[in-house]
Amino acid sequence: MGKAGPDVGLPYGKGGARRVASLTEQDVARMRDELFFDGPTRSSRYSRFWLLLILAAIIASAGIVSDSTATVIGAMIVAPLMTPILGLVVAVVLMDMTNLRCCLVLVIGGAAAVIVVGWVIGLFVPYPVIAATSTQVAARITPRLVDLVAALATGAVGAVALARSDISDTLPGVAIAISLVPPLAVVGLTLESGYPHQALGAFLLFATNVAAILASGIVVMALYHVNRARGGATRRAGRQWEAIGIIAILLIIVVVPLWSNSDRVDSTTTREAGVSAVAEQWTTPAGWTVVGVTAKGSQVLVDVTGPEPKPELAAFRDYLDAAGLGSLDVRVSMIVTHYMAVPN
């Protein structure tokens, strides 16, 4: 019986241990052709990139203004920003400085272009496009650590799909899973609306996703030994580590505000959930209904409505104390409902 060949992407190494296969020169050439804007077709690649990016920015901005999730998803599929970002990954691993600079300019220039498109579209909207008027904005201005975790996993999938042509059909799913153009459109729209704080939050989401793609992508390329597919891989090892160090620093920089956002959101959610449960316990016997519970700063605002007589606020405080929430500053808005018979 002949010797069995290795599994695709997972051959057996010494001692029978599985390891990720090294890519061949042909694989690297294929990735370069897919990601780098050089060669005889560079003009058409540039024109396609900018055309698709501007159209994706318009679609994303329109979807955010109309609060349409389906439209925003369409923009994610059209947007070509993933190409130069993954190009940065491969350029760093191969230490191809020319294409590294080219991809970096495309990422920065593309991000700026999407922000400008969002800002211009915001000029034609008669109301501010902010978190209070669009759930699409609200979903993108407070990124948390869980967003970084998801982006790291998605970036790894994108890098694996790039390295392995047999699973490249997963790339559209990667484009949907990781948000690049929509948060940039939010930056432009919220800046035009006069809400720079929300714009900063949306840009943090974009930066988080880019840093995650770069970090996980480089790890995947290292596992596939991309740098070994070319001769003289150690010539620029020092500069390669410098680039990797910069990406690591970028990742650390975004972790700090993400950690802060996560802590704040988790604290707010915990307070709202706890007070809401106690409010239900307090209002139900009196036939009242909890309309909403919102944590704002150090206060928790509770809106309740129902018929006379009103439930006693002192009883609410007793319930809060019993639930271990006595230290919270809870404010209650009570709206008495009156039902009147409609004349025949």
What are the pLDDT digits (tens) for 199-237? 999 999 999 999 999 998 888 888 887 766 554 444 455
Across the chain, mean pLDDT equals 84
Position 66, amino acid: S
Pairing status of strand 299-306 against strand 289-296: antiparallel
Mean pLDDT across the stretch 63-70? 94
pLDDT grade, residue 2 (50/70/90)? very low
Instruction: Quote the pLDDT of residue 24.
Output: 76
Instruction: Quote the pLDDT of residue 172.
Output: 63
Instruction: Quote the pLDDT of residue 230.
Output: 56
**Are the C-beta atoms of residues 261 and 144 closer than 8 Å to each other?**
yes
Quick one: 217 exposed, middle or buried, by C-beta within 10 A (0-12, 13-18, 19+)?
buried
Residue 276 has pLDDT above 90, yes or no: yes
DSSP label of 344? -
Instruction: Quote the pLDDT of residue 270.
Output: 87
Rg (CA), the chain: 26
Global pTM reads 0.77
DSSP SS3 for 109: helix
Most distant pair of Cα atoms in the chain: their distance: 95
pLDDT grade, residue 40 (50/70/90)? confident
| 12 beta partners | 18
Instruction: Quote the pLDDT of residue 326.
Output: 84
Residue 190 has pLDDT above 90, yes or no: yes
| Closest to 163 measured CA to CA, from 229, 207, 79, 209 | 229
**Percentage of residues in the chain with pLDDT exceeding 90?**
43
Is 268-336 CATH 2.60.40?
Answer: no
**Are the C-beta atoms of residues 73 and 99 closer than 8 Å to each other?**
no
Mean pLDDT across the stretch 258-278? 87
Instruction: Quote the pLDDT of residue 4.
Output: 42
CB neighbours of 85 closer than 8 A, spacing ≥ 6? 103, 107, 180, 210, 213, 214, 217
Q: pLDDT digit string (tens) for 283-315?
A: 999 899 999 998 887 889 999 999 888 999 999
Instruction: Quote the pLDDT of residue 232.
Output: 46
Q: 74: which 2 tokens?
A: 């369409």
Residue 60 has pLDDT above 90, yes or no: yes
Instruction: Quote the pLDDT of residue 170.
Output: 61
pLDDT grade, residue 9 (50/70/90)? very low
Domain boundaries, the chain: 16-235, 268-336
